[in-house]
Structure 1
Amino acid sequence: MIRLSWTQPEDLVPHALEAARLDGREADAIRDRWTAAGGSTDAPVSGATPEPAPAALRGLARELLAELDLLPDPEALRANEPDDLGPVLALAAPPELPDPGDTADRVLGAWLGRAAGCLLGKPVEKISLAGIRAIAKSTGNWPLDGYFTERGLDPETAAAHPWNRRSRPTSLAENIDGMPEDDDLNFPLIALHLLERHGPGFTTDHVAQAWLDLLPGGRVFTAERIAYRNLLDGVEPDRAGSVRNPFQDWIGAQIRTDLYGWTRPGLPVEAALLAWTDARLSHGRNGVYGAMFAAAASAAAVAGASVDDVIETGLSVVPANSRYATAIRWGTGLAEGGLDDEAAVDALHAQYGHLHWVHVLPNAALLAFALARGGGDFHRTITLAVSGGWDTDSVGATAGALTGALTGAKALPRQWTDPIGDRYATSVPGFANARFTDLAARTLEASR
């Protein structure tokens, strides 16, 4: 029996009820009907419960998901977190950015930095903050100073905090042989494909077709899997992300859009528009804002802006009163405070730990904290990002891409880049035997 995660109606209802609560939509009556029928309100962290629900409960779940889609949004939510971002971008006022100049080294640095940060986080994805610290301390790697290893790992610690099953064979220091496949690197390939095939005028329909052509359904997760399913069910791309999708505010879109900034150095609003076109296929509100932040910040980073200006540029394209902007400001404020690194991360988890580990808000706050406290130092930034927990490979990837662009490929620490060896083992059609040097050259060409 396959219990496919992030798609079972009975497993989506608890997530949808929680999303409604966080948005301030009145769902008590729907919750009561669900629990009276025997449904659980405990949202499965891994996306699927072990056993399927009875047919009647599964049918009710589909009915209630449709009703939850129709709940009206509170007026304050519509005002602070609009889906129509035209007015937001029309008022965007990013800080003055440097003349991008020759961006070749920065673009390669962004690709390599993204890979290194992702690779650092891969084996501890889904492991708790306490588990990450215990593993690193047990192996003499705390504060985090290099790729994770199981050499010297205490057996009791290993049993209590097992590695990410898929990543352990390829992502521990003793096993790394090039960059293994990961959605955090596959999605930039999809973005590059879109720009190469359609140019900057690509549409959300083009994004949908690219997913169907290039990505198996098993390689997408959470909101992306919902959108993929909806596309197969005949829902048009401009609605695919809003139908029975409780994950619209999660991190998936934020991991897809760095490349749009790499191809628009010094042009963050243009980069944000490309990100919006991509992100709206699967996400809404804060999920989309995360994509726009990452793209705009990347446009500033490949132009050689300061870390402060990179963060401010990202903030300039998202609604100022949104929960996403609040999370970014919270993270940067924490970085500027007097708490040491561990205490600061503990404060982050106290503030945002009630949210799912794939939700965009805790990860955005952690990203901002790592960027601001890292101050442009690549090593410090990616180790802070990953040692903070939650979606370790994704936050590590975005932090690594931004600081990799700021650092440039030539100046990246070799302890992080040598194991990657300029190789990416992707299954995305058209990118077999990918070399990061080639991807950077194609990215530069797409920017023209």
Structure 2
Amino acid sequence: MPLFVLGVTLVSFAFMFSEPSLFDLGALTPPAFAHASSASVLGSLLLAPLLGVLLDRVRRRRVVPVTLAVALALTLVAAGVAAEGVGAFVVPVMLVASAALTALWQVGEETYLPSVVGVRGRLVTANALLTALPQLGVMGMGALPALADLDGLAFVIVVAGAAACAAVAFRAVEAVEAPPPVRAGLRQEAVEAPPPPRAGFWREAAEGVRFALRDPVLRAIALCLVVTGLTGEFADDMVGLALSVLVEDMPPGEIALARMGSIYGALALGALTAVLLHRRLGAYRLAWVALLASQPFTLLVALSGVAGGWLWYMIGILVPLAGSIAATIALTSHRQAITPDRLLGRVTGTLVALAALGERAGTLLLGLPGEWLREAGENASSPLRLLPGLVLATALSMAAAVPLLRGRRHAEAASRQVEPSQP
């Protein structure tokens, strides 16, 4: 597990700084970034389910994380060399490839993790570690290139080297690729049926989609992800309005500190909440409880224009974000625990695709209402002008818990089948 966490930290650093490293080469334009965004969406929608098929076919699933990390390293090196020799026109193409790899990485990581952990009762702890530790590690590693004053090709080489080291770390992980243990007294064939013969990539991908949408619990999780994708950008826009009020009364350094404290504080708080409460509440129940209990704190952002507004702003970001992180950890762990091993890759790819579809649909459906509320809140000097948008954003965020509430009985039954008996 430590090697896996190290590999995820290194590859997260490489993905996070792949765009800045290529941007330093001076060959990127707004259309290139637009194409990269489209590549990320298409990678999630089209390639993620197919990668899930590959993960369910390979004998050792660690092959896929290793391959993705190596592909990222080679992509960055090729872009750097091309910018210095053949021509910088190749760099935008490589940026698009990097964006597609970023979209696919989540499928490989989440599918391989149960094999690394071994015992599905520890998945919440493992996912919490993979949520908090790599991000904190990336924050520390991100300062090193700045201190070393690296730019251009040197920066690209450092980022590509991190991806290559991640591949080495994943290659060194030893995990038993076997079906996870089931509850004592439950017949094995009732949980893990023998895999059917191969029927082609598209038909096997369709099987994963059907299973994810027919299973009551997985369908509830899928709907939750779609609603979260629909509302995420809208909620961020409404919170951004409050920041414009806060900027007028505070130095930029204090605002940056408040934002960084809220984001990294939410990472730690969300992961800790998931670890401490999942045994008492259960992973699935923890998800909808965290959403319903945390999202109303978004309304505190409306107090950014009063005395001590930075504190209300920080709490209004930290608590809802921590609740969303805890819910994500819980749902990911529960999904990994109840999905049959032979379908784990395809189900993961399907849910990643649905989440990406929700984000794109949310941009289209909530774009116009967002514009209206942004115009109404421009130059707001009173919290009252921010309330309509924040109330709507809060209600939409809490709506993600509705599918989970409707599927909670099926989730409890599924949990009793896959969790070990408690002494």
Q: Same fold (TM over 0.5)?
A: no
Higher helix share: 2
TM bin, normalised by shorter chain, reads: under 0.3
The higher-RCO structure (CA 8 Å, 6+ apart) is 2
Larger Rg: 2
